[in-house]
Amino acid sequence: MLHNMRKRIIFILFSFFLLGCNQSPSPVFQEEIRGLKLVQLITGKDALNAINELHGKKINVASGMVAFYQGEGEKATVWVSESFSTDDAKQQTEIMIEKMRLSKRSPFSDYKEIGLDGVKIYSFKGMGQEHYIFRISKSVYWITANSGAIDELCKSIVG
């Protein structure tokens, strides 16, 4: 009980912190989206370490966050890295997608480009889930989720 209360307080404080930062749009992770509950939010150096580990090398970004969601038989992860500039974020997104598409060892397939409220989303499948990668301003997002939840997670971020 105390653990849940502490987690809620941290989430609320973190949300207010994000809302107070007007330098660039930052995600405010909802506590629940389509039956998936936010179970862990990693920020700061821990998030940067997780992002670097995901890529297998150090990525030149200003900050990052990783949100983990779980529900009945479903799970989702939202990775966010904030670049130093919008151009950096755009270039990093394009390079990432190109490398994933061209790699013969890539576990990903079925690449598509879709749009949502003017945001270009790269959609693909792999490792038993669906994936969306997109950029908003200086922030690059990678959502990994089951097909039933990914659209709702994306809409909660894009708007």
List Cα–Cα distances, 96 to 2, 91, 155, in angstroms: 41, 9, 22
Q: What stretch of H or E contains 5?
A: helix 2-20
Report percent pLDDT > 90 for the chain.
Answer: 47
Q: What is the pLDDT of residues 53-71, one digit of tens each?
A: 877 777 788 899 999 999 9
Which two structure tokens, joined as six digits, stand for 65? 């966050």
Which amino acid would we find at residue 61? V
Residue 95: is it exposed, middle or buried by C-beta count within 10 angstroms (0-12/13-18/19+)? exposed
Across all residues in the chain, what is the average pLDDT?
81
Q: What is the pLDDT of residues 70-105, one digit of tens each?
A: 998 899 999 999 999 999 999 999 998 998 899 888
- Contact (Cβ atoms closer than 8 angstroms) between residue 124 and residue 110: yes
Greater pLDDT, 139 or 148: 139
